[in-house]
Chains A and B, each alone.
Chain A
């Protein structure tokens, strides 16, 4: 019944009903319903793309740290919260320019990450993974309590300098703020990719990832690579927080869900794989968005984890795991 109409009676911008007059009402209703469904799918797709960008950013930071340092970084979510609170501090309290504040927030995230590595992780060099994990859990709880103590438990909202009216693309729309988040996240993902694959530091990082001892024998300063990796990963988490803080709100426990999702993305994509974390971020966003839209919004966060279980049963190393050289 729904056919493109070059001529004919126009009752819809693109389609016309060629049904007998008696069924015309039903045909038009079906046409409208069909259009609504298509619009809904388009809106879900756009939402998922934008959400995926920030998920990927969170995942990449975590996967870098795990891949190169073999550290399960429980403070990742707190660096995310730190980024958001830095935006609140500089934009809302100090009245700084929004974009400048964002650069500063990321830079401070890099410094905080570097400090955590120097103060905690460097001392634990050679300790087993359980000890390191426990110390990182302690650091996570301490950081979160510190945030609560500094900023109180009440959520803080951060004003962004974007027009209040969204960007409208036919039947779907998106806020300028989210679009900005997507663009910056994409740029950061590509930049990290380039850094790892095409710079000297990246080469040293990859060598450390492949075989720590051999890399050290070849003259790579492993300690410095570790500090740089942790600082970079933390900076990416702070960037995600600084980007999303103004879209949502900043509150002390915001890092928990972010951390959980980052872990899920990293496991999904394969530990230590940057393309895997990127793909994992987008996959998780699409599952959540479409699952909530078409199955049940009550299980939105559960849906992603369900799929992860399925993927891990089928491919236990994750989707994109790289093989390590052992021995």
Chain B
């Protein structure tokens, strides 16, 4: 190869890179880290699908600051180490000014130190462990409720549902243990006796030992905190062992439609705390937005069971878009500042942030709506 052709090729290469750079300037990149494979794969994919619908709608309406939004979605494989790697990749190599993720509390907590290191804000769309907003990380903006908020919202129901003694079964991670702690505390405050508190490995599929123990506890209610995959198996196995307790699932990642489809009869009679009720969109604060989202979701032929998870992606991306608009530029610091003042009409309700955590290093927390639904005769009913 002559040095001339080599020079030409190098120039071509440089041009190609420059062109790539120029194209990238016309979009605003937003990094998303979700569990697209692994234990939480179903939920992570739904959130990503919801975010993609929001991306399309925002771009159809002209984008943000005259530019189109471009989602860069990375798979964190339901694994904290991978979650950190995706955040590093999105921040360093894709140069995104803002992140959304990382679904489970354990994954989010793993990513959080990176946010501080690179000073990039992250919108947390699903995680519910209290630690996320109380550990003093000012780059965290959470729209999902904490377990404490959920337990508080549920508190009056201990009496109305006639709960006297409650058992707890939770996945052995920040999400599950946090929820068991908050709900058992709320139970005690409401004069409810706390029976056994059991845990299960996040990857476990057989809960026979835990359920046999719970069966013998003499409680009338069992609170279950984990994602839909394990809830499905728990409902089936609870029926196999004829568990006398009524089951209430917390955390909002319980997808009642998917439970009906996959657990069948075993799902009947179970209660679920959800943050969006697509079965009766008129019940939510902003029914028009909720109806639009349900229509778009169905047009895409996404799984209806994913609506209760997918809405998080929509709400999250809309909050981010609003913050970029308010900031006037797509830079991490400006977006962080703007996020504090956004007011967005979301599917879950009106989204805005309050301060949580140690003074001077507060994290941002939204106060979302919580709904209780029941599965009866293979249908979701309002409670």
Q: Which residues of A contact B (CB under 8 A)?
A: 36-37, 39-40, 43-44, 47, 51, 148, 152-155, 157, 164-166, 168, 172-175, 178, 248-249, 251-254, 257, 288-294, 296-298, 300-301
Contacts and interface: CB of A to CB of B under 8 A. Distances in A.
Contact of A157 (B36, B198, B232, B237): B232
Contacts of A249: 205, 229, 232-233
B41 A154 contact: yes
B172 A298 contact: yes
B36 A297 contact: no
28 contacts: A36-B218, A37-B216, A40-B216, A44-B212, A47-B209, A148-B37, A153-B37, A153-B45, A154-B42, A164-B266, A165-B239, A166-B239, A166-B241, A166-B242, A172-B241, A175-B239, A178-B240, A248-B206, A252-B37, A253-B39, A289-B209, A290-B209, A297-B200, A297-B209, A298-B199, A300-B200, A300-B201, A301-B204
Contacts of A253: 38-39, 203
Interface of B: 36-39, 41-42, 45, 75, 172, 198-201, 203-206, 208-210, 212-213, 215-216, 218, 229, 232-233, 236-237, 239-242, 262, 264-266
Contacts of A155: 41-42, 229
Given A47-B212, A153-B36, A153-B41, A300 B241 contact: no
Contacts of B209: 44, 47, 288-293, 297, 300
Majority-rule SS of A interface residues: helix
Nearest to B200: A297
A166 B200 CA distance: 23
Contact of B216 (A39, A148, A178, A252): A39
A175 B242 CA distance: 10
A148 B242 CA distance: 35
A97 to B, nearest CB: 20
Contact of A297 (B39, B210, B233): B210
Given A153-B41, A164-B265, A175-B237, 17 more contacts: A43-B216, A44-B212, A153-B38, A155-B42, A166-B239, A172-B241, A173-B240, A174-B240, A175-B236, A175-B239, A248-B206, A249-B205, A249-B232, A251-B39, A297-B199, A297-B210, A297-B213
B208 A51 contact: yes
A28 B318 CA distance: 61
A44 B241 CA distance: 11
Contacts of A166: 239-242
A256 B213 CA distance: 27
Nearest to B172: A298
Contacts of A43: 212, 215-216, 241
Nearest to A159: B264
A288 B205 CA distance: 13
A84 B216 CA distance: 32
A209 B102 CA distance: 51
B208 A289 contact: yes
Pick from A51, A164, A288 the residue with the most CB of B within 10 Å: A164
Contacts of A289: 208-209, 212
A251 B42 CA distance: 11
Contacts of B240: 166, 173-175, 178
B41 A47 contact: no
A257 B203 contact: yes
A155 B213 CA distance: 27
Contacts of A44: 209, 212
Query: Which of A40, A174, A257, A300 has the largest count of B CB atoms less than 10 A from its CB?
Result: A300
A148 B35 CA distance: 13
Given A155-B42, A297-B199, A40 B241 contact: no
Nearest to A163: B265
Among A44, A155, A164, chain B packs the most CB atoms within 10 A around the CB of A155
A174 to B, nearest CB: 6
A291 B75 CA distance: 35
Contacts of B236: 175
A292 B229 contact: no
Nearest to B37: A153
Nearest to B229: A155
B329 to A, nearest CB: 36
